[in-house]
Structure formats: structure tokens, C-alpha cells
Chains A and B, each alone.
Chain A
């Protein structure tokens, strides 16, 4: 069964605004990862947050994890046109197992200049 499900499916904001994307998942996880994909390219890893962590920062990115609600959020502050891409969350189930890193369908983010 599919794990990470991103919300919203698409998001369009003005440059300089903050963008927030959410991810919900179904089963216990070892870690949750966020990736970015530019059109026609491979995925680029952004942040990994482990099940015992609640928040992580990397530059303009902030990720939170709420294991009680089985949800995570990705916040991009002061957005730039170059942030336009699809953003995917991916989960690794606790105990490993089959399927490994399972991706959602992504949030397509458009930054309007």
C-alpha cells in the first residue's frame, strides 16, 4: 500500500512567499525523506528526518515530523523561481522490509516571479 501522500497536489505562490507542503503516511517509519524533482530530471535529496526527531532545518528548508499523526511538513521560506519543481516525501518503514523507500505522487510547486 502506498505510504507518503503529499498535499496539496499543486501549489502556486509568488516569489518571496513561503511554501508549505504536507505528507501523510500510514505505517510506522524508520525515517522520512523529502526529495525535489525538476522537470525531466532525477530526484535530489533534500532532508532526512528520523522517527525520533521532530524538526530539522537546512538552509531555507524546515521539515517537521509528527509520528502521532503520521504526518510531516516541508516549509520553504522566501521562495525563489528556482524552487519551482515537484516535491516528494518518501518513507522507510520501521524494521526495513520490502518496498524500501516508498514515494507519494508529489506536490507540484510553481513560484511565480
Chain B
């Protein structure tokens, strides 16, 4: 019974490159959430998706960032033209119910380093 799977675990990009972060939710979960964590900080909400739909993207920067959760395959968080300030740990979580009324299951995160 695999949990939330994120890959890659570590990603190094140079400024201006694209970063693609993948997240496979727990089996049977159709709700995915992306969070960003800076060192010594709590998690900041970015986006909430269901299959083929973006439900809430209020925490995601309007430019360079996008997210999708296709009918088949993992959820993808895409950062175009990365800058040093994008360096952070990006966590994905999933749940079996809508919203946040039940607990979330988190992946181990992707540590993005921008050189």
C-alpha cells in the first residue's frame, strides 16, 4: 500500500531552466495538494487539484508556475525559468475527500536547488 510518491527526491537546475516535479497520490485518492517549504519555515499552500481540475490555486505565483493533475498519470508541478528564490522543498499531499476536513498524507518532498 504505497503512500504518496514524489520524484525526483532532489532536483538541481540552473537559473532559467525548467523544473518538473511529480507526485503520485495514494491509491484511491483523487485530491492533490502542493506545498512549498523554505528552511526553518512552515509549509505554504500553493495549489489544490482534483483529477483534471484546478480547485484552488490561490497560493501559486501567477507567473512561471503551473500545475496539472491529468486523468491518467501523476500530478505535475512545473516551474519555468527558475530563479534562485525558487529553491525550496516542495511537498505533495493527497486525501480521499474534498477539501481539508480529513487528514492529508504527505510525500517525502522534492528538494529543488537552483544554481
A binds B: yes
B101: A residues at CB distance < 8 A = 30-31, 92, 96
B42 touches A101 (CB 8 A): no
Number of interface residues of B (CB under 8 A): 28
- CB closest chain-A residue, reference B108: A42
- CB closest chain-A residue, reference B95: A101
B43 touches A88 (CB 8 A): yes
Q: How large is the interface on A (under 10, 10 to 19, 20 to 34, 35 or more residues)?
A: 20 to 34
Task: Judge whether B56 is part of the interface by a CB distance below 8 angstroms.
Answer: yes
A102: B residues at CB distance < 8 A = 45
A98 touches B91 (CB 8 A): no
A42 touches B4 (CB 8 A): yes
A106 touches B42 (CB 8 A): yes
A43 touches B100 (CB 8 A): no
Using A88-B42, A88-B43 as known contacts, say yes or no to A101 and B109 having CB atoms under 8 A apart.
no
Q: Which of B78-115 contact A (CB under 8 A)?
A: 91, 93, 99-109, 111
B residues at A contact (CB < 8 Å): 4, 6, 33, 35, 40-45, 48, 56, 58-59, 91, 93, 99-109, 111
